[in-house]
A and B are shown apart, each in its own frame.
Chain A
Amino acid sequence: MTTFMSRRDLILFFGFAAVVLLLPILAQPFGAAYPDLLQRFMIFGIFAIGFNILFGLTGYLSFGHAAFFGVGSYAAMWSFKLLSTNALPAIIFAVVIAGVFALAIGFVSLRRSGIYFSILTLAFAQMSYNLAYSVLTPITNGETGLRMAIADPRVLDRLFFEAPVAQPVPSLFGFSLSGWNGFFFSAIFLLATFFLAMRITNSPFGMMLKGIKSNQNRMNYTGFNTRPYTLTAFVISGMLAGLAGALLVVTDPLAGAERMRWTASGEVVLMTILGGVGTLVGPVLGAWIIKYFENIFSSFNDNILSAFFSFLPEGAREIAVTVSSKFVGDGWHLTLGLVFVLIVVFLPGGIMEGVRRIAARFSKADRDGTARERRLAPKAAE
Chain B
Amino acid sequence: MFRPSNGMSRRRLIKTGMAGILATGVSPLIFSKGAWAQEFCNNPTGATVTFGLNLPLTGAYAEEGADEQKAYELAIKHLNGEGDGGLINVLKPTALKGNGILGKKVEYVTSDSQTLSDVARAGATRMIERDGAIMITGGSSSGEAIAVQSLCQEMGVIFMAGLTHSNDTTGKDKRRYGFRHFFNAYQSGIGLGPVLGKEYGNERRAYHLTADYTWGWTQQESIKNATEALGWETVQTVLTPLGAGDFSQFLTPVLNSGADVLILNHYGNDMVNSLTQAVQFGMRDRQANGKNFEIVTPLISELMAKGAGENVKGIFGTSNWHWALQDEGSQAFTRSFGAAYGSPPSQAAHTAYVQALLYADAVERAGTFYPPEVIKALEGHEFDGMGNGPTLYRAEDHQCMKSVLVVRGNENPTSQFDVLNVVQEVSREDSTYDPAMFGGDLGPAEPAPLCT
Contact = CB atoms under 8 A, between A and B. Distances in A.
Name the interface size band of chain A.
Answer: 35 or more
Given A36-B125, A147-B173, 5 more contacts: A31-B130, A133-B212, A181-B452, A254-B150, A329-B57
B118 A145 contact: yes
Given A133-B212, A330-B112, A174 B441 contact: no
B144 to A, nearest CB: 9
A133 B117 contact: no
A253 B121 CA distance: 10
A43 to B, nearest CB: 11
Contacts of B451: 178-179
Interface string A85-104: 00000000000000000000
B306 interface: no
Closest 9 CB pairs of A and B: A174-B25, A179-B452, A143-B213, A34-B130, A36-B125, A34-B129, A144-B214, A330-B57, A256-B118
Contacts of A143: 117, 143, 212-214, 242
A144 B452 contact: no
Contact of A299 (B111, B121, B146, B175): B111
A133 B116 CA distance: 13
Contacts of A258: 116-119
B275 interface: no
Nearest to A299: B111
A173 interface: yes
B143 A299 contact: no
Interface string A192-209: 000000000000000000
B3 to A, nearest CB: 31
A36 B212 contact: no
Nearest to A261: B116
Nearest to A40: B122
B122 A167 contact: no
Interface string B70-110: 00000000000000000000000000000000000000011
Interface string A141-155: 011110100110000
B441 A150 contact: yes
Interface of B: 21-22, 24-26, 29, 57-58, 109-112, 114, 116-119, 121-123, 125-126, 129-130, 142-143, 146-147, 150-151, 153-155, 168, 173, 175, 212-214, 239, 241-242, 441, 443-444, 451-452
B58 A330 contact: yes
A169 B449 CA distance: 11
Contacts of B109: 299, 301
Contact of A147 (B21, B116, B147): B147
A363 interface: no
A166 B446 CA distance: 9
B143 A167 contact: no
A175 B114 CA distance: 33
A22 interface: no
A226 interface: no
23 contacts: A31-B130, A34-B130, A35-B129, A36-B125, A36-B126, A36-B130, A134-B212, A144-B142, A144-B146, A144-B213, A145-B118, A147-B147, A174-B26, A180-B452, A252-B122, A253-B154, A256-B147, A258-B118, A259-B118, A298-B111, A298-B123, A299-B126, A301-B110
A166 B26 CA distance: 15
Contact of A145 (B58, B112, B147, B444): B147
Contacts of A180: 452
Nearest to B130: A34
A175 B25 contact: yes
Contacts of B239: 134
A237 B118 CA distance: 23
A253 B155 CA distance: 12
A180 B21 CA distance: 21
Interface string A219-259: 00000000000000000000000000000000011101011
Nearest to B25: A174
A352 B110 CA distance: 34
A214 interface: no
A299 B116 CA distance: 16
A295 interface: yes
Nearest to A255: B118
